[in-house]
Amino acid sequence: MRQQRDEPYPDTFIGGGFHDPSAPAQLQDPLLTLAPAPAPVPPPAPAHRPRGLVPAIAAVLCALLLVGHALVPNTGWNMGSLLETLLPWTALAIPPLLVAALIRRSIPAALATLLLAATWAAMFGSQFVGSAPGARPNLTVVTHNVDAANPDPASTARDLLAAHPDVVALEEVTDKAFPSYRRVLDPSLRYSFHTGTVAVWSRHPITASERVVLDPGWNRSLRVEIQGPDGPFAVYVVHLASVRVGPGGFTAGRRDQAVAALDSRIDHEPLKKVVLMGDLNGSTADRGLAPLVSRLSSVQNAAGAGFGFTWPSALPFVRIDQILTRGVITTDAWSLPATTSDHRPIAAGLRV
């Protein structure tokens, strides 16, 4: 009997179909044939951004703000007045923007920053140059918000006398502190007038005096006539309403109403020579003071060097204490050293 050899099955049953190892690849079961993996799609190339674009835009925007600050509306939050009060501090943006331009090696950013610097210098640079006096002064005036909470009024008064003033105007003079100011100032400045929280002392005779009502709720303004070296002149001592920055914006409404009343009073002032001194709670760049600045000249703008900031005393960043004049010549203007008040006093040399 011939022995049969076991032959392997020619076909193998796999996964529901037959697989023939010897069959060509194209005849294999399509369910078992793997498609080739698709080629990876490269990510899109990032958009190219010019170097220094952000500092360049920031510098241009700051320059536009300097030039067009008057276009910022003053309705609602009075943002125009707030911006104009702080406008000199835009200079702080120049150094970091210039550093950013250098780090990025961006010529457009550097040029934009130089444009900002040139704009700032055109607006404020003259205040650091000063002006040569056109005449010799014959009167020195000093004004100071002495702070109602001043712990040492006598010391403050002595500090003011160090400037050898002919006229001293004080604001926030309390009834309790008034005798201390008198004891120090009266021996040098024998003529004086006091009403409410404002007072004035003069080396020259005071020939007329009155309270000036700018705000019916407060007694913080006065007018005197002084017989000066070359004739009479009027002196106004004024403390306008405070302004605040809060959730409601820059609250300056009460101050601006008093400015309007003061402007009307100055408009009807019979004497040609006028000196207005006091805490106006605003810078001369603030449009809220525009009526006064259009009639009177700032001694700091005329003959001062720098901004002459006065508040707060420890680290002043804004000038809200002012000396404004009409019909007189300003020969010099400066800020005095800090006293025990929260404001710094200011002084001016005048030819009246």
302-347 per-position pLDDT tens digit: 999 899 999 999 999 999 999 999 999 999 999 999 999 999 999 9
**Residue 195 or residue 129, greater confidence:** 195
Q: What is the mean pLDDT of residues 173-190?
A: 98
Q: What is the mean pLDDT of residues 67-92?
A: 89
DSSP structure class, residue 162: T
- Residue 41: the pLDDT is 72
CB 310 within 8 A of CB 85: no
The string of DSSP letters for 170-225 reads: EES--TTTHHHHHHHHTTT--EEEEETTEEEEESS-EEEEEE--SSTT---EEEEE
Taken in order 234, 235, 241, 242, the sign of the CA dihedral is: positive
Coil vs helix vs strand at 8: coil
Cβ neighbours of 131 (radius 10 Å): 15
**78-82, 116-120, 192-196, 340-344: segment of lowest average pLDDT:** 78-82
* Local confidence band at 34 (pLDDT 50, 70, 90 cut-offs): low
